[in-house]
Amino acid sequence: MAADALDQAKTKVTEAVDRLAADLEAISHQIHSTPELCFHEEKAADWLTTFLEKHGARVERGVGGLPTAFRATVEGKAAGPTIAIMAEYDALPNIGHACGHNVIATAGTGAGAAIAAALGTLPFAGRIQVIGTPAEEGGAGKVRLMEAGVFKDVDAAMMIHGRCGTQVWRPTLGIIKVKCEFFGRASHASSWPWTGVNALNAMIQLFVSLDQMRQQLRPDARVHGIITKGGDQANIIPEHTASEFYLRAPTKDYCKELLQRFEACAQGAATATGCRTVVTSDPIIHDPLKANFTMAELFGKNLERIDFPVDPDDGEAGYGSTDCGNVSQALPTIHPYIRISPDGIPGHSREFAEWAKSPLARVGMVAGAKALALTALDLVARPEELQRAKDEFAKTRG
Ligand SMILES: [Zn+2]
Ligand SMILES: [Zn+2]
């Protein structure tokens, strides 16, 4: 009986996603052409919440103290588990939606809106929520929402991310973000250079040391940075330079080891040049994703149900990172990738930004919305599956 009810609900919700697809694509394109940076996603949050409300979800704006966060709830017929579908909608500086968060936004929102539109109230105990999570690129919005208790009552969470292939499970790396500054002494670069202490030389030395350190790192670790201040004018010996780095690795422990080695490189560069260094690490550490194969399997079966192909991982790319990793360490979570570009198109590139508004992106967004909605329905309609996901989570903690 319950199986029939679930199957009928899935069919109705799948059809609803198809009906909403054109409107969802229009919002996706609007977000794409109006890129908003972390914590400033006012327009995107407005468009998404208006859409969810229009289709019958109960919307709360500014949850967790973040003005551009939101929560949209579809209640069930009785009290029960809470399943969250996460939506991201922030862009990158200068290159816009080169991570395709416009697709994440409309897939997650589309899933929630379709459930609300098709079912009104869930014919099961529990509730499904769309949680709008700002500032994935650089702000760790999900960590802030978790600290504010937005995920407190959530039993399982999920989202999709666009990629150059569809993979239900793919690891991500942890990150420690650091800022490194050098302080020297200004002087005339031509008439009194020997009285100056050159903070740019220290910065260049740091980059050289890190390049050498990289030879002795594990192959999946990543250390990369930019100089945010290199000096003020060529005729002044730079007295202050600044940089930002991401230190990434598959485990938090190795991230911490990278930080120690980074600090030694910075100290060495300071000593060699007579400067003083200050290394400041962000207290928020991005966790690597913790897999949940129970949920991933349900998601994969739902992709099968809608005839959307999964691709073998070509092994051509390294791994990125996400604040969804921190969610996945707190509760059963999945973060599948859905194809929105041809093979081999790198994320954070101008090419990927173009693909994020392509017909292929629409196909991926629709498939993502359906598979998210159907997997959320599985978890409220089949308590034994949710329990399996929780048992797996408990067994593999850490
Ligand atoms: Zn990104
Ligand atoms: Zn992203």
**From the CA of 96, which ligand is nearest?**
1
Residue 397 banded pLDDT, cuts 50, 70, 90: low
CA distances from 196 to 11, 127, 338 (A): 73, 65, 54
**From the CA of 347, which ligand is nearest?**
1
Name the percent of the chain lying above pLDDT 90. 97
The pLDDT of residue 81 is above 70: yes
Name the percent of the chain lying above pLDDT 70. 99
- Give the pLDDT of residue 398: 56
Cα 16 to averaged position of ligand 1 atoms, centre (Å):
29
Condensed to tens digits (0 to 9), the pLDDT of residues 306-318 reads 999 999 987 889 9
d(CA 396, CA 398): 6
Cα 90 to averaged position of ligand 2 atoms, centre (Å):
9
Strand intervals (E) in 290-329? none
Listed range (22-31, 311-320, 330-339, 376-385) with the worst mean pLDDT: 311-320
Cα 122 to averaged position of ligand 2 atoms, centre (Å):
30
Cα 371 to averaged position of ligand 1 atoms, centre (Å):
22
3-state secondary structure of 354: helix
Among 371, 174, 143, 166, smallest CA distance to 290 is for 174
Cα 58 to averaged position of ligand 1 atoms, centre (Å):
29
The two three-digit tokens of residue 91, written as one number: 């862009």
The pLDDT of residue 29 is above 70: yes
- Dihedrals φ, ψ of 77, to 5°? -80, -15
Rounded to an integer, what is the distance from CA 52 to the centroid of its chain? 21
List, as ranges, residues with CB under 5 A of the ion ligand 1.
Answer: 99
Is the pTM for the entire model greater than 0.85?
A: yes
Cα 170 to averaged position of ligand 1 atoms, centre (Å):
15
**From the CA of 137, which ligand is nearest?**
1
**From the CA of 162, which ligand is nearest?**
2
Condensed to tens digits (0 to 9), the pLDDT of residues 328-342 reads 999 999 999 999 999
* Range 235-250 average pLDDT: 98
Condensed to tens digits (0 to 9), the pLDDT of residues 275-307 reads 999 999 999 999 999 999 999 999 999 999 999
**From the CA of 346, which ligand is nearest?**
1
- Give the pLDDT of residue 215: 97
Residue type at position 345: I
As a whole number, the mean pLDDT across the chain is: 97
